[in-house]
Copies of this chain bind each other. A is one copy, B any other.
Amino acid sequence: MTAPSQLTLEGLLPQLEVVRKDFPILERSVAGGLPLVYLDSANTSQKPQCVIDAMVDHLERHNANIARAMHTLGAEATEAFEGGRDKVAAFLGAPSRDEVIFTKNASEALNLVASTLAFRGPRQVGEGDEVVITEMEHHSNIVPWQMLTERTGATLRWFGLTDDGRLDLSDIDELITERTKVVSFTWVSNMLGTINPVAELTRRAHEVGAIVVVDASQAAPQLPIDLQAMAPEERPDAVVFTGHKVVGPTGIGVLWGSRALLEELPPFLGGGEMIETVRMERSTYAPIPHKFEAGTPPIAEAVGLGAAVDYLRDLGLDDVRRHEHALTAYALDGLATVPGLTVLGPLDAEGRGGAISFEIDGVHPHDVAQVLDARGIAVRAGHHCAKPAHARFGVQSSTRMSSYLYTTPAEIDALVEGLHYTRSYFKLD
């Protein structure tokens, strides 16, 4: 176990040591007895006991298939599953619970929108149409749009990045035009940490009649989201996130879409649950949300995700945001003490999420991560599924530390110390 941090920072979650007790994995030791310092939360978050318990209780006492089962267990399972939807709707401030679609992860949610836009319907994308993304997207928000544009003959365009890792909006008027049918971008970059101007971009896209898809995979864990409070012209048409990054389970993601959009999109996957009636010749489809949920959904996972977003709301997303912000500022200061270290992305904690990618002259990211791992510190090394953003900065890979609500300043200290040690290990001093 980590010794309780001596250090406290303005803005940290109150009772941080108590919060840490909610996460059983943080008691683990690694690398032959060292306390685990988990700084890979942008990759996946750890799970509090209440999420695990909710799933176990479901599996041990209420497991049944949903909707179609009319017996007691079936009614309980249906209520638990749909209760998960209600909680996610509340978490997002969604105008309607029916606008919350469960997918298997954020990637499927993005593919759902991109794939169905290729099908016949009022929003069908075709030759001459343009889809606009950005150079800082996760591969999951690039490849689906490449596939859509390749398959339909539409054109893919993108915003470039400034040297300090923000969107380069200087050519926005050339990029967002009447030809633009979709604008899709990440709310918070998983590599650079940049927080993008959702309201502004959405307003501009809506002015030309384009739909806006926002990848909130990194935003949902750390920023309060309130869709209902957004001005309609600044509210995206679709927002996606993934369960495992918001202290929830794997196997579940969320697509929120406005009713207007979801009703216009044709169905994605066909099968049980998403139909109204089926004849061999033809089928008709159920209304949303079921229209987009073919087959047995991730039931225990929806129960776990419901518990997860409730856990975050209980802590308070504003407080989580403040915590992340305090740690990010502290980490940026600490990293600046490491010779030869360059941060990729904005250098001020303001307007920045909690993922910090960096390079160290003379040591490859894998080697950094390996030496840190031997000290019990888990960071990510590689391209973080953001190859184009790495290419933009002329690097092939980077090391990324990402904190979360359970991270302590002492863990940041351990990282910084570990980086100094890494340099000396590779004889760079």
Residue of B nearest to A44 (CB): B65
Within 8 Å of chain B (Cβ to Cβ): is A278? yes
Within 8 Å of chain B (Cβ to Cβ): is A9? no
- For the A-B complex with A55-B55, A278-B387 known, give 10 more contacts whose Cβ atoms are closer than 8 Å: A25-B63, A44-B64, A44-B65, A59-B249, A65-B244, A74-B378, A107-B295, A111-B269, A111-B294, A144-B270
Residue of B nearest to A269 (CB): B111
Determine whether the beta carbon of A251 is less than 8 Å from that of B294. no
Within 8 Å of chain B (Cβ to Cβ): is A52? yes
A38 vs B77: C-alpha distance in the bound complex, in angstroms? 14
Residues of B within 8 A of A70 (CB): 366, 369-370, 373, 380-382
Residues of B within 8 A of A388 (CB): 278-280
Using an 8 Å CB-CB cutoff, how does the interface string of A339-382 with B read, 1 for contact, 0 for none? 00000000000000000000000000010011011001111111
Determine whether the beta carbon of A104 is less than 8 Å from that of B104. yes
A277 vs B139: C-alpha distance in the bound complex, in angstroms? 10
Determine whether the beta carbon of A69 is less than 8 Å from that of B251. no
Residue of B nearest to A266 (CB): B147
Given A107-B295, A251-B300: A72 in contact with B373 (beta carbons within 8 A): yes
The minimal Cβ–Cβ distance linking A159 to chain B, given in whole angstroms, is 11
A297 vs B381: C-alpha distance in the bound complex, in angstroms? 19
Within 8 Å of chain B (Cβ to Cβ): is A196? no
Determine whether the beta carbon of B43 is less than 8 Å from that of A52. no
Residues of B within 8 A of A372 (CB): 71
Which one of B272, B366, B373, B376 contacts A138 once the chains associate, using CB atoms below 8 Å? B272
Determine whether the beta carbon of A44 is less than 8 Å from that of B63. yes
Using an 8 Å CB-CB cutoff, how does the interface string of A46-75 with B read, 1 for contact, 0 for none? 110001100110011111110011111110
Within 8 Å of chain B (Cβ to Cβ): is A130? no
Given A52-B59, A143-B270: A44 in contact with B296 (beta carbons within 8 A): yes
Within 8 Å of chain B (Cβ to Cβ): is A283? yes
Q: Which stretch from A13-21, A28-36, A174-182, A200-208 is at the chain B interface?
A: A28-36
Given A71-B369, A250-B299, A296-B244: A271 in contact with B143 (beta carbons within 8 A): yes
Within 8 Å of chain B (Cβ to Cβ): is A275? yes
Determine whether the beta carbon of B44 is less than 8 Å from that of A279. no
Determine whether the beta carbon of A301 is less than 8 Å from that of B74. no
Determine whether the beta carbon of A107 is less than 8 Å from that of B140. no
Q: List 21 interface pairs A-B (beta carbons < 8 Å), by A numbering.
A: A25-B61, A25-B63, A30-B72, A44-B63, A47-B59, A51-B59, A68-B384, A70-B369, A104-B108, A104-B298, A105-B295, A107-B270, A107-B271, A107-B296, A139-B275, A139-B283, A141-B271, A143-B274, A144-B270, A244-B296, A278-B388
